[in-house]
Amino acid sequence: MVPTILIVGATGNTGRGVTEALPALLRGNHVLSTHRILALTRSSDSRAAQRLAKNPGVEVVEKNWTDITADWLREHQVARAFIAPHNAPNQFAEESAFYVAALNAGVEYVVRISTTAATVRPDFGSYYPRAHWAIETLLGSAEFGALKWTSLQPNAFLDGYLAPAAQYIKQYRQTGEQGTLSLMVAKDAPVAPNDPNEVGAFAAHLLALADPTPHSGAKYVLNGPEDITGEQIVQLIEQHIGTKVKDVVYQDISFIDALVTSGFGGPGHPRLSWPLSNMD
């Protein structure tokens, strides 16, 4: 079996971009051209997985990444890996276990997806940026010195950033009525959101490097090409619906409460707040 580049979450938000960009990059690389690409998915029957399987050099495998062990990594000769972890409350336990397995299996390089750089700190109000901080601290420890890694910190993802605006326009066109427009963004703070596919392509370029050593331990902040504020998003909506938006709530993160209420992360997890003061 030839050395393998593992893509965890290949059909996910950023994983698709990695899986689509990587084959061509490897073909042009004399050092890695013989590496195979193993795309992990929870359902190989999904349309997204079947589409990825059509890419030359990509092998789709159905497996839950939280079940990966050092023996499994050795069996598949995984040399490099990409991972976009979930952000449930047990993220640290499961993601750190993956890196322990990778370290023990002799994986040489991992590229991971983190979250917005300004929030990745130990005192942030929400649990999952703290989990990303803890993971990056773990990977930067002396005990993990044999595992090269790069953490990507996208500013925001364009699809999620603009989803409430798209839904508002759709609803207005269907009903002719305005409800309350709720945006997670601030009214006047400019943010340059990222296309998830471009973030994935960036990760693919790192994975295809003959020698990733210069990027080991790096935390790269990724910004999109253009800043936009919440107020400008409202103006775009008004252009599409042809009238003023009457009621807007900025910095609305009530969706987190909805996730917790729905059982996100499994039973028994407490409400985990995200103070708006930490988003300023």
Whether residue 30 is found in the same domain as residue 51 = yes
Whether residue 230 is found in the same domain as residue 162 = yes
Whether residue 121 is found in the same domain as residue 163 = no
pLDDT band of residue 273 (cuts 50, 70, 90) is very low
Whether residue 128 is found in the same domain as residue 114 = yes
Whether residue 12 is found in the same domain as residue 36 = yes
Whether residue 29 is found in the same domain as residue 146 = yes
Whether residue 151 is found in the same domain as residue 105 = yes
Q: Domain residues for 19?
A: 4-157+195-222
pLDDT digits (tens, 9 = 90+) for 171-223: 999 999 999 999 988 899 898 999 999 999 999 999 999 999 999 999 999 99
Whether residue 204 is found in the same domain as residue 244 = no
Whether residue 24 is found in the same domain as residue 85 = yes
**Count of the separate structural domains present in the chain:** 2
Residues with Cβ within 8 Å of residue 11, at least 6 apart in sequence? 39, 41, 46, 48, 49, 52
Please say if the pLDDT value at position 126 is more than 70: yes
Whether residue 124 is found in the same domain as residue 238 = no
pLDDT digits (tens, 9 = 90+) for 148-164: 999 999 988 888 888 89
112 beta partners: 83, 151
Whether residue 13 is found in the same domain as residue 136 = yes
* Domain CATH code at residue 123: 3.40.50.720
Whether residue 140 is found in the same domain as residue 170 = no
pLDDT digits (tens, 9 = 90+) for 207-263: 999 999 999 999 999 999 999 999 999 999 999 999 999 999 998 877 665 555 555
